[in-house]
């Protein structure tokens, strides 16, 4: 892709981000302001002990150092935001600084996306002057204009763009077969935000399999004697070095336990107040249905039903009535079980970086679907790497279109303020229109189904159109029917259950594509 075209994509999306400055901000804005204040005005030894605000520092040390750096610049904007006791402080200069810090740190993403675009394989693609048929351009827009990143970072307020940039950079390095650099960026990323532990298994298996072991047998199995100690050592040094720099000082101060207890709080419930569209959303609704049936059939008495069921999920601790209650251990086992086929699949063949990418997506899928206390924002972890695959293969494009549409729609409740409704609807429409058009053009086939969205089957089309009606009901119909007081959580529940169906379907489809792909290769 020509550099000027990429430049214009970057400039327009940056302008959009700047325009979003006056939008609504969630409490995460105050969280990050508080972290700026802590890292600026407290010594390092106090960072993980400070608890004046309820929003204590719960990201790994690298992120704390990142906030520390930002606070040096923040001082020039408004020193008052750097006082720990100045809770909920949001002067114009503070807002401007924090918003700009997200926008500027997003340039890591800009660089990483550029690197990723260079890695796109143009297999069997005809060269066309039409912009929508250039996979690099399409990929650049899909990544930079990603609806989830835009609303979560630039409206809701977080630094996911910057972190996603690190992730994409590490992926790009692996695609370029610069494994050590890839490992470096990923371990750095882990020390910025530990949610990326979800996808660490894919990295681990891939680097071990195709970097530490250098050769494969004829049948594709690993050749055990080909272990390169040199590579293993190099990899170990790179990864451990990053962790040492990050956690070292805290270990030296004897604070490791405290830091870890901040990073992994275990007092939360299985699901959020708003259920992320995953397996547990379906499980909960099944529980509700089963309870209702059981009460009808007099198997359960109404007194046994806990309050949470009645309030439909407002309470964080959700106890199941008819079905067994889920403990964190169960979710861990289920998550690992869901990942296992993908990891085994990755191990058992001479894997290419693209196989790694598939495994990465599957790991993200598994932890999103079965993880404990998963936030709906984690869908971005799946959609972003899937974009890379979507521009290269038609089948992945199909999964991407369905998943990105329902996954992004499931982020709508994140922005509940009325003024943001048109913003989010417009951004979502722009992204979805572009995704459907461009991937439709990229993977255009001779047989076109009438009355179907590009690449989607009739069933999937019906599902996607259903999302529109769902949203219409949630934002207009529910209120008009006067159900707001009687069933206040119905819209949220409907959204999460309906989207969960789509996410589960995409997951199964993607798993199937990945596993059958191997047989396809073997035959040929």
Partner 1 sequence: MDTRFGTLCTAVVFAVFVRWVVSLNSYSGMGKPPMYGDYEAQRHWMEITTNLPIKQWYFNGTDNDLLYWGLDYPPLTAYHMWLCGKVAEWIDPDWTSLFASRGYESYEHKLFMRYSVLIGDVVIYIPAVLLYCFLQKKFTHTQKVLLSCVLLLFPGLIIIDYGHFQYNSISLGLTLWAVIALSHRHEVLGSAAFMLALCYKQMSLYHAMPFFCYLLGKCWQQRWKKGFFSLCCIGVSVLATFAFVWMPFLSDKDLFLQVVHRIFPVARGVFEDKVSNFWCSLSVVVKFRNFMSHEGLLKLCLATTLLGLVPSSLDLLFRPSGNKFKLALVNSSLVFFLFSFQVHEKSILLPALPVCLLLPWRPFTSTWFLTIATFSMLPLLVKDGLVIATLITSILFIIAVELGLQGVSSDPTIGCPVCIWSSKNLPWLPHRVFFYAVKSGFYASLMGALFLGLLSVVVPPPSSLPDLWPVLISVYSCSHFIGFTLYYHIVQLMTTDSKETAAQKTKKTQ
Write down the least CB distance from residue 434 to partner 1, Å.
6
Nearer to partner 1, 11 or 237 (CB): 11
Q: Residue 8, interface with partner 1 (CB under 8 A)?
A: yes
Least gap, CB of 223 to partner 1 (angstroms): 49
Our CB check for partner 1 shows the closer of 406 and 427 to be 427
DSSP characters over 3-59: HHHHHHHHHHHHHHHHHTTTS---HHHHHHHHHHHHHHHS-GGGTTT--SSSS---S
**Quick one: 20 or 168, whose CB is closer to partner 1?**
20
Nearest CB to partner 1, comparing residues 12 and 484: 12
Stretch that binds partner 1, among 8-16, 264-272, 467-475, 492-500 (CB under 8 A): 8-16
19 vs 251, beta carbon nearer partner 1: 19
Give least dist CB 422 to partner 1, A. Answer: 4
Q: Which is nearer to partner 1, 148 or 277 (CB)?
A: 148
> Which residue of 135, 371, 440, 491 would you call a contact of partner 1, by CB under 8 A?
440
| Choice between 340 and 429, CB closer to partner 1 | 429
**Residue 402 in contact with residue 453, Cβ under 8 Å?**
no
Mask: binding to partner 1, 374-413, rule CB under 8 A, as x and -? ----------------------------------------
Please tell me whether residue 426 binds partner 1 under the rule CB under 8 A: yes
CB of 453 to partner 1, least distance (A): 6
Question: Quick one: which segment of 10-18, 242-250, 353-361, 465-473 binds partner 1 (CB under 8 A)?
Answer: 10-18
> Mask: binding to partner 1, 448-487, rule CB under 8 A, as x and -?
-----xx---------------------------------
Write 102-105 long-range contacts (CB < 8 A, 24+): 102/17, 102/153, 102/154, 102/157, 102/158, 102/159, 102/161, 102/162, 103/14, 103/17, 103/18, 103/154, 105/159, 105/161, 105/162
Place of tokens 């008495």: 301
Q: In whole angstroms, what is the distance from residue 82 CA to residue 439 CA?
A: 46
Least gap, CB of 131 to partner 1 (angstroms): 9
Q: What ranges in 155-278 are assigned the alpha helix state H?
A: 160-175, 179-192, 200-207, 229-252, 256-263
Q: Which residue has the tokens 């099944």?
A: 286
Taking the C-alpha atoms of residue 504 and residue 399, their distance in angstroms, rounded to an integer, is 11
Tokens 């936030």 belong to residue: 375
Report yes or no: 263 and 235 within 8 Å, Cβ to Cβ: no
By CB under 8 A, name the one of 225, 418, 446, 485 that touches partner 1.
418
Site for partner 1 in 128-147 (CB under 8 A): 132
How far is C-alpha 302 from the geometric centre of its chain's CA atoms?
39
Binding segment toward partner 1, per CB under 8 A, in 64-72, 78-86, 274-282, 432-440: 432-440
73 makes contact with partner 1 (CB under 8 A): no
Tell me which residue of 138, 16, 147 sits closest to 431, measured CA to CA: 147
Q: Which span (65-73, 398-406, 434-442, 473-481) binds partner 1, by CB under 8 A?
A: 434-442
Which residues are within 8 A (CB) of 40 and not within 5 positions of it... i.e. 6 or more apart? 68, 71, 72, 74, 75, 82
- Under DSSP, the state recorded for 505 is H
Write out 129-168 in H/E/C secondary structure: CCHHHCHHHHHHHHHHCCHHHHHHHHHHHCCHHHHHHHHH
Minimum gap (Å) between residue 387 Cβ and partner 1: 18
CB of 7 to partner 1, least distance (A): 10
- How is 290-334 classified by DSSP, letter by letter? HHHHHHHTTSS-GGGS-HHHHHTS-SSS---SSSPPPPHHHHHHH
How far is the C-alpha of 509 from the C-alpha of 398, rounded, in Å? 9
Q: CB under 8 A: which stretch of 78-86, 244-252, 357-365, 420-428 binds partner 1?
A: 420-428
The reply on whether position 15 binds partner 1 by CB under 8 A is: yes
Instruction: Figure out which of the listed residues 104, 292, 441, 490 binds partner 1, where binding follows CB under 8 A.
Output: 441
Least separation, in Å, of the C-beta of 405 and partner 1?
Answer: 13
326: phi then psi, degrees, rounded to nearest 5: -95, 130
Residue position matching structure tokens 């159109």 = 465
Q: Which stretch binds partner 1 (CB under 8 A): 164-172, 356-364, 385-393, 415-423?
A: 415-423
Give the count of beta carbons closer than 10 Å to the beta carbon of residue 450. Answer: 5
Task: Give the chain's largest Cα–Cα span.
Answer: 70
Asked if 437 is part of the footprint of partner 1 (rule: CB under 8 A), the reply reads yes
The SS3 of residue 351 is coil
User: Could you tell me the smallest distance in angstroms from the CB atom of residue 30 to partner 1?
Assistant: 19
Measured distance CA(178)–CA(188) in Å, rounded: 16
Considering only residues 16 through 55, tell me which ones interact with partner 1, judged by CB under 8 A: 16, 18-23
Q: How far is the CB of 467 from partner 1 (least distance, A)?
A: 15
Least Å distance, CB 281 to partner 1, is 29
Nearer to partner 1, 412 or 511 (CB): 412
Q: Which is nearer to partner 1, 328 or 466 (CB)?
A: 466
When binding is defined by CB under 8 A, the residue of 289, 337, 340, 419 that contacts partner 1 is 419
Residues found near partner 1 in the complex (CB under 8 A): 8, 11-12, 15-16, 18-23, 132, 418-419, 422-423, 426-427, 429-430, 433-434, 436-437, 440-441, 453-454
């Amino acid at each position: 892709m020509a550099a000027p075209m990429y430049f214009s994509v970057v400039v327009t999306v940056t302008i959009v981000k700047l325009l979003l400055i006056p939008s609504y901000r969630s409490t995460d804005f105050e969280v990050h302001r508080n972290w700026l204040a802590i890292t600026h005005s407290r010594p390092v030894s106090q960072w993980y002990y400070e608890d004046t605000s309820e929003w204590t520092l719960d990201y790994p040390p690298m992120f704390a150092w990142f906030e520390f750096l930002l606070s040096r610049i923040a001082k020039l904007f408004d020193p008052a935001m750097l006082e720990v006791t100045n809770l909920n402080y949001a002067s114009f200069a503070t807002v401007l600084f924090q918003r700009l810090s997200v926008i500027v740190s997003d340039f890591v993403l800009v660089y990483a996306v550029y690197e990723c675009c260079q890695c796109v394989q143009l297999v069997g693609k005809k060269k066309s002057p039409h912009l929508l048929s250039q996979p690099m351009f399409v990929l650049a827009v899909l990544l930079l204009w990603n609806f989830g990143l835009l609303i979560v970072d630039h409206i809701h307020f977080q630094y996911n763009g910057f972190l996603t940039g690190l992730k994409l950079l590490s992926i790009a390095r692996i695609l370029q077969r610069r494994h050590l650099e890839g490992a470096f960026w990923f371990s750095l990323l882990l020390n910025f935000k530990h949610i990326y532990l979800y996808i660490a298994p894919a990295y681990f298996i891939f680097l071990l399999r195709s970097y530490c072991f250098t050769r494969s047998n004829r049948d594709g199995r690993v050749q055990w004697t080909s272990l390169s100690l040199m590579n293993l050592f190099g990899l170990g040094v790179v990864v451990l070095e990053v962790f040492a720099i990050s956690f070292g000082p805290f270990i030296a101060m004897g604070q490791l336990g405290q830091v870890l207890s901040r990073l992994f709080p275990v007092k939360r419930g299985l699901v959020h107040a708003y259920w992320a569209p995953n397996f547990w959303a379906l499980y909960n609704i099944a529980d509700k249905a089963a309870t209702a049936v059981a009460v009808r059939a007099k198997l359960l008495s109404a007194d046994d039903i806990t309050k949470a069921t009645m309030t439909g999920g407002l309470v964080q601790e959700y106890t199941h009535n008819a079905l067994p209650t889920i403990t964190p251990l169960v979710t861990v086992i289920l998550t690992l079980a869901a990942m296992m086929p993908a990891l085994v699949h990755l191990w058992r063949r001479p894997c290419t970086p693209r196989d790694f990418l598939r495994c990465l997506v599957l790991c993200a899928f598994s932890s999103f679907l079965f993880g404990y206390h998963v936030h709906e924002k984690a869908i971005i972890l799946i959609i972003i790497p899937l974009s890379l695959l979507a521009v290269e293969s038609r089948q992945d494009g199909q999964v991407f279109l369905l998943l990105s549409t329902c996954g992004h729609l499931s982020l709508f409740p994140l922005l509940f303020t009325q003024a943001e409704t048109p913003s989010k609807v417009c951004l979502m429409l722009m992204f979805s229109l572009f995704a459907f058009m461009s991937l439709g053009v990229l993977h255009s086939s001779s047989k076109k189904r009438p009355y179907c969205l590009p690449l989607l089957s009739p069933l999937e089309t019906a599902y996607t159109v259903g999302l529109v009606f769902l949203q219409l009901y949630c934002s207009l119909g529910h209120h008009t029917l006067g159900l707001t007081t009687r069933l206040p959580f119905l819209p949220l529940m409907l959204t999460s259950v309906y989207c969960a169906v789509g996410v589960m379907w995409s997951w199964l489809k993607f798993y199937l594509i990945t596993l059958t792909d191997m047989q396809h290769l073997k035959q040929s």
